[in-house]
C-alpha cells in the first residue's frame, strides 16, 4: 500500500467546486482527522475553457 492509512477514503475535488467545512474531528485512536464538507456549488461547464 502506498498510503499510511490503507483504509482511508479519499475524494478528489475538481477545480471550480465550492464547499464549506462543516466540522473537523480528530480520532485519537486512529490518529487521523475526519473533515465533513458541505457542497456549495458544482462545477459549471461554462468555466471549462479556463481549465484547458
* Residues 1-40: tens digit of each pLDDT: 577 777 777 778 878 788 899 999 999 998 888 899 898 8
Q: Which residue, 34, 5, 6, 4, is CA-closest to 22?
A: 34
Please tell me the predicted confidence (pLDDT) of residue 25. Answer: 97
Residue 21 is predicted with a pLDDT of: 94
Single pTM value for the model: 0.52
- Burial class of residue 43 in the structure, from the number of CB atoms within 10 Å of its CB (0-12 exposed, 13-18 middle, 19+ buried): middle
**How far is the C-alpha of 48 from the C-alpha of 8, rounded, in Å?**
30
Amino acid at each position: 500500500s502506498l498510503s499510511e492509512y490503507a483504509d482511508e477514503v479519499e475524494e478528489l475535488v475538481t477545480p471550480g467546486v465550492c464547499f464549506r467545512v462543516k466540522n473537523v474531528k480528530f480520532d485519537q485512536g486512529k490518529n487521523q482527522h475526519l473533515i465533513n464538507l458541505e457542497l456549495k456549488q458544482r462545477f459549471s461547464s461554462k468555466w471549462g475553457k479556463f481549465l484547458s
